[in-house]
Amino acid sequence: MIVSIEDIQNEIIDEFSMFEDWEERYQYMIDLGKDLPLIDDQYKTDSNIIKGCQSKVWVHAEMKDDQIEFTADSDAIITKGIIAILIRTFSNQHPKDIINADTGFIDEIGLKEHLSATRANGLVSMIKQLKLYAVAYQTQLK
């Protein structure tokens, strides 16, 4: 049974709602970054780097049983936390659901600043890239 993207996002919102201040939120994000499903070294290539991030972010996507599995890495730990949160919601989902997913929950967990033009350039590009993979695999399914 696939847990829906929305349910996972609600789960994440719940987790973050327990924190009292930014420090706990960021500490948790850093911990999440440490558990990020790491990209296999062979995919850590320049062509898998997401442009527009101050730190380097590599993402790889693979199709397994009509679901996409994402792995990633970054040289910055906070960035790793952010991509870990995204991947947790998008990984092992149908391409169609990824394409249609809303990412407003980022705001709700207090990471809105990463959506600003300078910072989230990073985050916005990451979301775009994950969705692009989904679009590519979706066309393959047809």
Q: Which residues contact 75 (CB under 8 A, 6 or more apart)?
A: 55, 56
> SS3 for 31?
helix
Is the backbone of residue 56 left (phi > 0), alpha (psi -120 to 50) or beta? beta
Q: Closer to another protein at the Cβ: 27 or 100?
A: 27
Show contacts with another protein in window 58-117 (CB under 8 A).
75-79, 113
Closest contact distance (angstroms) between CB of 26 and another protein is 7
For residue 66, which amino acid is it?
D
Active site residue 53: yes
| Active-site residue, from 29, 53, 72, 109 | 53
Contact track, another protein, 15-54, x by CB under 8 A: -------xx--xx--x-----------------------x
Triad 60, 78, 108: Cα angle to 5°: 95
**Which of 96, 112 has the CB closer to another protein?**
112
Taking the complex as a whole, how short is the minimal distance between the CB of residue 29 and another protein, in angstroms? 10
Beta strands in the chain, from DSSP E residues, in sequence order: 57-64, 67-74
**Shortest distance, position 110 Cβ to another protein, whole Å:** 11
Write out the two tokens for 45.
């290539």
Residues recognised as catalytic: 53
Q: Which residues bind another protein (CB under 8 A)?
A: 22-23, 26-27, 30, 54-56, 75-79, 113, 119
